[in-house]
Amino acid sequence: MTTRARALSLAVALAAVAVLVAGCGGGEDEAAPTEVVLLTHDSFAISKDVKQRFERESGLRLRILQGGDANETLNRALLTAGDPQGDVLFGIDDSVLSRALEGDLLEDYRPDALTTVEGAFLPQTDLVTPIDHGEVCLNVDRGWFAERGLAPPERLEDLTEPRYRDLLVVENPATSSPGLAFLLATVARFGEDGWQDYWRALRANGVLAVDGWEEAYTQQFSGASGSPGKRPIVVSYATSPAAEVIFAARPPAEAPTAAVEDGCYRQVEYAGILRGARNEQGARELLEFMLSEPFQADVPGSMFVYPVREGVELPPAFVEHALVPDDPLSVPADEIDENRDHWVDEWTEIVVR
């Protein structure tokens, strides 16, 4: 063997070793699945004892993969449709539901536990199962308004008044799910041809639009504890005031913020079995479990959304500080799908340009 050939074969061997070493982490056992994989968004959370309960009852390890926000996670699933990264996809909301259904990435399944779900949340397809609902609402900094002797806004229309000038921060609907929900709320309230004028008035009144919820809530909103923000009105969730109490260093008797009932927009979150799942049986068991009492009761405390199962008791902090809007706004999924892109474009023209 010449030196050159020897050197080359050494290099090839090295590369092979690198590949093998790297490959060690992979290699699923396809014969007998021992785990079920849940592909979900970054806001997913589950209590340890609830997760252990599922694992004990099913004999399967529950593995969780998080793929960005709801929209990004769906895009990930669409990219790998048919050869999915997980068994169950959770976190599809109404605003992206039609894309999920058209993407041919889910399989039909009708859980037995569906009978426990309130009728209002049931979809017209077996491809997805409703798991929770959450409402996007305006939040106000109560202290800020009290200090100035100013009444916080009560209706969407109030926000265009001069006394609320430069006080509102919203999220960009092109990049943020609560941002899109709030845009849809204004569409539902002011009509397909009326919402544009409302936003023009908001812009004239100094609305600030930022890219995502994190920046809006933790950096621009004055009511979030520890925030450097200066604006006392933000688009967030009906449950955010409860979170301010639960996660306060020394829990106050009253929440420092409050959700505004008017203009709340309802989002239902669904889960579905991914087509080509490695563990389809496990996926079914997981869906049943997600509708069961223990998981549904855990949903408020871990994800700050509400259960869809009837008769599940809410934790005390939610009863006291959070809001369950009686009559939230919504836009039908097919209408959203048809119009979302041009609504967002129009919004960008009106608010950003």
Helices 70-79, 94-102: crossing angle, 10 deg rounding: 0
Least Cβ distance, residue 137 to another protein (angstroms): 13
Least Cβ distance, residue 120 to another protein (angstroms): 26
Helix (H, G, I), strand (E, B) or coil at 265: strand
Our CB check for another protein shows the closer of 76 and 309 to be 76
Least Cβ distance, residue 350 to another protein (angstroms): 13
Contacts of 143 (CB under 8 A, 6+ apart): 223, 256
Q: What are phi and psi of 99, to 5 degrees?
A: -65, -40
- Which position has the token pair 């694992």? 55
Least Cβ distance, residue 25 to another protein (angstroms): 3
Our CB check for another protein shows the closer of 2 and 124 to be 2
Our CB check for another protein shows the closer of 224 and 277 to be 224
Nearest-CA neighbor of 247 among 302, 324, 177, 299?
302
Least Cβ distance, residue 93 to another protein (angstroms): 15
Calpha distance 179→173 (Å, rounded):
4
Calpha distance 265→220 (Å, rounded):
22
Our CB check for another protein shows the closer of 84 and 153 to be 84
Least Cβ distance, residue 346 to another protein (angstroms): 15
- Which position has the token pair 């020897």? 6
Nearest-CA neighbor of 131 among 259, 192, 26, 43?
43
Calpha distance 188→195 (Å, rounded):
8
Our CB check for another protein shows the closer of 121 and 217 to be 217
Our CB check for another protein shows the closer of 111 and 239 to be 239
Least Cβ distance, residue 281 to another protein (angstroms): 19
Nearest-CA neighbor of 322 among 310, 302, 306, 342?
306
